[in-house]
Structure 1
Amino acid sequence: MGGAFLAAAVLARLGGRIGLPTIPLFILAGILLGPHTPGVVLLSDPHDLEMLSALGLVLLLFYLGLEFHIDDLKAGGRKMAVAGGTYLALNVGAGLGFGFALGWGTSEALVLAGVLGISSSAIVTKVLVDTGRLGNPETKPILGIIVVEDIFLALYLAALQPILSGADSLSAAVMDGGKAFGFLLLLALAARFGTRVVGKLFNTKDDELLVISFLGAAVFVAGVSEWFGVADAIGAFMVGLMLGSTSSGARILKLVHPLRDAFGAIFFFGFGLSIDPGDLPSVVWPVLAAVAVTLVMNVLAGLGAARVYGFGAGPAANIATTLLARGEFALILATMAAGAGLDERLSPFIAGYVLVLAVLGPLAAGRSAWLARVLPGGAGVCAGRGAGRGGGLTFRRRVRVRGGWSRSSPRPWVVVRLRAGGRFSRSSPRP
């Protein structure tokens, strides 16, 4: 474990010198020090890090829940459902069509629908943090799409399990789906109405007790969620959603930060341990074709989500590139497919596809301004790193001194510079 931390840190520091994001470097460290490559092998069995990797995923999504306030969920419910439904329809539909086009079989096509259709919550969270976009307006639809994906994921797994196992009982599939949906509904009600009670339970001035309390709650609810057929990550997300709205929310956000970074690195390192580079050449062309399909569908989905929320080309590019990566869920499906005795090409295909997008996704997100310039209405987007951390987009809007934004207001124009953290600074006096 110490070697994993140090290897990830060394590669990340070297990559940082040339501007590379940390996620693919953590994964590369796992590949280089895993059992499938020559040289030093830190862990011969990737399952040895399974619990720590799961903790990393739980903390990443818990942190995301802390940032995503319950008011945002209430206010954007309809738009969130439309944007998430559009994303799933495009990507899952394309994945199913791609699976049938490969001709590997119906069960394989159903697996590929999920592989190509669901983003990596862990990588999306890390990308938002690394690019400094948690405060950006388009981050809300991104998080909303993740929530919709996780709800779909629970129902999809419940329906897929009897198909892969050869069961012909529709009632069992419906029962599993109903159990998962019921638990999700219970979590949503607790997040909506239980904030005051939860706030009193977690209210303490002692940081040690607060860390033990929120960590125990996040991990416990994640485990119970998995037992009900809901992704453990969404359970942790809902706990973060509840605690973020309490009086202790700001302190929890600060205290969980180093835990999230440390165990998040272990999650991506463990991800790399499971990839065997020797299996990839046999499926290189299907992998590249699938990546191309995903790129096109994500751009279309980003444009659709931006249209729903009234955003321009820059936010559309941010949405498309941030949600590009595939990860932990695809690897779960690869394990399920191998256990069900499906086509032996499926596992290396999934590993290669996930690896390419895990590297390409963070790189594309950091350079989303390039995509924004070629999207409809994006001709005025400035070059460079305008959509990423440290950059900015200069635009003109009419503003009211009170009452928020208004395009139709007769008040004077001001120039506003939008910075990655969601902070605004006026380059001219208040009107």
Structure 2
Amino acid sequence: MTAMGHADTLLAMGGAFVAAAVLARLGSRIGLPTIPLFILAGILLGPNTPGFVLLDDPHDLEMLSALGLVLLLFYLGLEFHMDDLKTGGKKMAIAGGMYLALNVGAGLAFGFMMGWGTSEAFVFAGVLGISSSAIVTKILVDLGRIGNPETKPILGIIVVEDIFLALYLAALQPIISGADGFGETALQIGKAFAFLLLLALAARFGTKVIGKLFAIKDNELLVISFLGAAVLVAGISEKFGVADAIGAFMVGLILGSTASGSRIRDLVHPLRDAFAAIFFFAFGLSIDPGDMGSVIVPVLIAVVITVAMNLTAGIVAARIYGFGPQPTANVGTTLLARGEFALILATMAATAGLDPRLSPFIASYVLILAVVAPLVAGRSHWVARILPGGRAAKEEAERQPEEEHASAGR
């Protein structure tokens, strides 16, 4: 690469970080999550919009973007604990399973309805079916609902989604890569699951040995070690037909259970945020806003389907946990956002050469829901009124102060 090439790359990288930071600060003032703003920055500074162009070719940020994706899933693995499956018990499994059945099933049906292809339909299933754990967590923190009774099943559903994510990505990769015939597809899926099983066994039985390898006092060496492990296993995963992101997830799952897990979480957090911003920014660079107009109708249909399925899932969770209308509305609206996982699927679909309409569809869908979800979640009391029993609960809440006032008067 020439000196000019180096300069252009550094300018693009620096500009991407600065643009993402500026928009994120503006967004935080009006309560918007950062993911849609990072994407918007990429769209505005990309080659497909008029005005200043920061980067002509999104592929120039391909390696940084891939690292952002690896760190995102690595951190998610660090946050996931096998003990979470035990504490939630049967209710968590049922609520999470029903959520996935409703949303993934609706996404698959929607995908076949669109008629873009079988591989594309399976991508739609994941896009419409999986919530954004990053945005969901941010909503819970921003609205002060961490201690609410419905928060535990919300996080339980996220845990079940994480487990499904690992299995889904392992099965999806051979399908969208265009394996020849059922036998070849089955062989690739078998290889993927065998490798995934190997990583799972390492997570279950190799934690002590691996923990000793990562018992490093020096932070600099620890950062180099866990980054090397995450990137290396991500690359090996690709060789076995497993998405690189899920390989990084499994490394995070293993290291999160070691004695160094909490230190690794603290050390990787700023790296995750920085390079994830580049991942979302680079995705925005690849989007042509002109293409969004051609998919706006199916996007709006998908948004309506997602809202309906999430409210239905909220009602199901309420039945399982015995919640009233307000917690039911909180569950349905908090889990509404879609984000990082949908964009991972968009990247996989583009790499596999699937229908080019998928990228603008997913970008529009994520942007709309990532903005709408926090706003709706903050006004979930409006939603509670239209749910079964909501009006009666509202009238009871309004009548109670009146009765207390009359009783005090006597």
Provide TM-score, normalisation by structure 1: 0.75
Unpaired runs of 5+ residues, structure 2, are 1-12, 395-410
Query: Is residue 171 of structure 2 the alignment partner of residue 155 of structure 1?
Result: yes
The structure 2 residue matched to 1:357, chosen from 369, 377, 380, is 369
Question: 2 CA distance for matches of 1:102 and 1:188?
Answer: 36
Query: Is residue 257 of structure 2 the alignment partner of residue 241 of structure 1?
Result: no
Judged with a 3 Å threshold, the aligned counterparts in structure 2 of structure 1 residues 67 and 352 are, in CA distance, closer, same or farther, namely: closer
Aligned ranges 1:385-404 → 2 under 5 Å: none
The structure 2 residue matched to 1:55, chosen from 35, 45, 67, is 67
For residues 297-341 of structure 1, the C-alpha deviation after alignment (integer angstroms, 9 at most, x for no partner) is 22323444565566665377346533530422341354167x25x
Judged with a 3 Å threshold, the aligned counterparts in structure 2 of structure 1 residues 224 and 245 are, in CA distance, closer, same or farther, namely: same
Matched-pair contact (CA < 8 Å) for 1:61–1:125: no
Could you tell me which residue of structure 2 aligns to residue 329 of structure 1?
Answer: 344
What is the Cα deviation at residue 240 of structure 1?
2.0
Alpha carbon RMSD of aligned pairs, Å? 3.3
The structure 2 residue matched to 1:224, chosen from 236, 240, 247, is 236
Could you tell me which residue of structure 1 aligns to residue 295 of structure 2?
Answer: 283
What is the Cα deviation at residue 112 of structure 1?
3.3
Aligned ranges 1:361-372 → 2 under 5 Å: 361-364=373-376, 371=383
Judged with a 3 Å threshold, the aligned counterparts in structure 2 of structure 1 residues 310 and 142 are, in CA distance, closer, same or farther, namely: farther
Judged with a 3 Å threshold, the aligned counterparts in structure 2 of structure 1 residues 128 and 64 are, in CA distance, closer, same or farther, namely: farther
Query: Is residue 192 of structure 2 the alignment partner of residue 183 of structure 1?
Result: no
Identity %: 69
State the SS of the aligned residue for 1:234: helix
The structure 1 residue matched to 2:27, chosen from 3, 15, 40, is 15
Read off the aligned partner of 1:352 and give its amino acid letter.
S
> More helix per residue: 1 or 2?
2
Judged with a 3 Å threshold, the aligned counterparts in structure 2 of structure 1 residues 348 and 271 are, in CA distance, closer, same or farther, namely: closer
Question: 1 CA distance for matches of 2:336 and 2:244?
Answer: 20
Matched-pair contact (CA < 8 Å) for 1:61–1:121: no
Matched-pair contact (CA < 8 Å) for 1:147–1:234: no
The structure 2 residue matched to 1:96, chosen from 91, 99, 108, is 108
Could you tell me which residue of structure 2 aligns to residue 314 of structure 1?
Answer: 327
Could you tell me which residue of structure 2 aligns to residue 113 of structure 1?
Answer: 125
What is the Cα deviation at residue 174 of structure 1?
0.8
For residues 25-58 of structure 1, the C-alpha deviation after alignment (integer angstroms, 9 at most, x for no partner) is 1111111111111111111111211221222222
What is the Cα deviation at residue 152 of structure 1?
1.9
Could you tell me which residue of structure 1 aligns to residue 50 of structure 2?
Answer: 38
Matched-pair contact (CA < 8 Å) for 2:338–2:370: yes
Matched-pair contact (CA < 8 Å) for 1:275–1:351: yes
Aligned ranges 1:163-178 → 2 under 5 Å: 167=180, 169-178=181-190
State the SS of the aligned residue for 1:280: helix
State the SS of the aligned residue for 2:32: coil
Judged with a 3 Å threshold, the aligned counterparts in structure 2 of structure 1 residues 225 and 106 are, in CA distance, closer, same or farther, namely: closer
What is the Cα deviation at residue 123 of structure 1?
5.5
Matched-pair contact (CA < 8 Å) for 1:142–1:319: no
- Aligned pair count reads 375
Judged with a 3 Å threshold, the aligned counterparts in structure 2 of structure 1 residues 282 and 380 are, in CA distance, closer, same or farther, namely: same
Question: 1 CA distance for matches of 2:195 and 2:89?
Answer: 19
Question: 1 CA distance for matches of 2:141 and 2:232?
Answer: 25
What is the Cα deviation at residue 117 of structure 1?
3.1
What is the Cα deviation at residue 184 of structure 1?
1.7
Provide TM-score, normalisation by structure 2: 0.79
Question: 2 CA distance for matches of 1:289 and 1:76?
Answer: 33
Matched-pair contact (CA < 8 Å) for 2:68–2:272: yes
Read off the aligned partner of 1:7 and give its amino acid letter.
A
Query: Is residue 305 of structure 2 the alignment partner of residue 293 of structure 1?
Result: yes
The structure 2 residue matched to 1:145, chosen from 147, 155, 161, is 161
Read off the aligned partner of 2:17 and give its amino acid letter.
F
Question: 1 CA distance for matches of 2:175 and 2:202?
Answer: 26
Aligned ranges 1:370-381 → 2 under 5 Å: 371=383, 374-375=386-387
Judged with a 3 Å threshold, the aligned counterparts in structure 2 of structure 1 residues 148 and 258 are, in CA distance, closer, same or farther, namely: same
Where relative contact order (Cα < 8 A, 6+ residues apart) is larger, the structure is 2
Could you tell me which residue of structure 1 aligns to residue 4 of structure 2?
Answer: none
Matched-pair contact (CA < 8 Å) for 2:43–2:287: yes
Matched-pair contact (CA < 8 Å) for 2:91–2:320: yes
What is the Cα deviation at residue 280 of structure 1?
1.4
Read off the aligned partner of 2:38 and give its amino acid letter.
F
Question: 2 CA distance for matches of 1:194 and 1:367?
Answer: 46
Could you tell me which residue of structure 2 aligns to residue 413 of structure 1?
Answer: none
What is the Cα deviation at residue 2 of structure 1?
0.7
Question: 2 CA distance for matches of 1:86 and 1:281?
Answer: 33
For residues 163-211 of structure 1, the C-alpha deviation after alignment (integer angstroms, 9 at most, x for no partner) is xx6x3x2111111111111122222221111111111111121111111
Could you tell me which residue of structure 2 aligns to residue 25 of structure 1?
Answer: 37
Question: 2 CA distance for matches of 1:362 and 1:57?
Answer: 23
Aligned ranges 1:79-94 → 2 under 5 Å: 82-94=94-106
Judged with a 3 Å threshold, the aligned counterparts in structure 2 of structure 1 residues 320 and 270 are, in CA distance, closer, same or farther, namely: same
What is the Cα deviation at residue 122 of structure 1?
6.2
Judged with a 3 Å threshold, the aligned counterparts in structure 2 of structure 1 residues 240 and 310 are, in CA distance, closer, same or farther, namely: farther
For residues 64-91 of structure 1, the C-alpha deviation after alignment (integer angstroms, 9 at most, x for no partner) is 2222223224555766654444333222
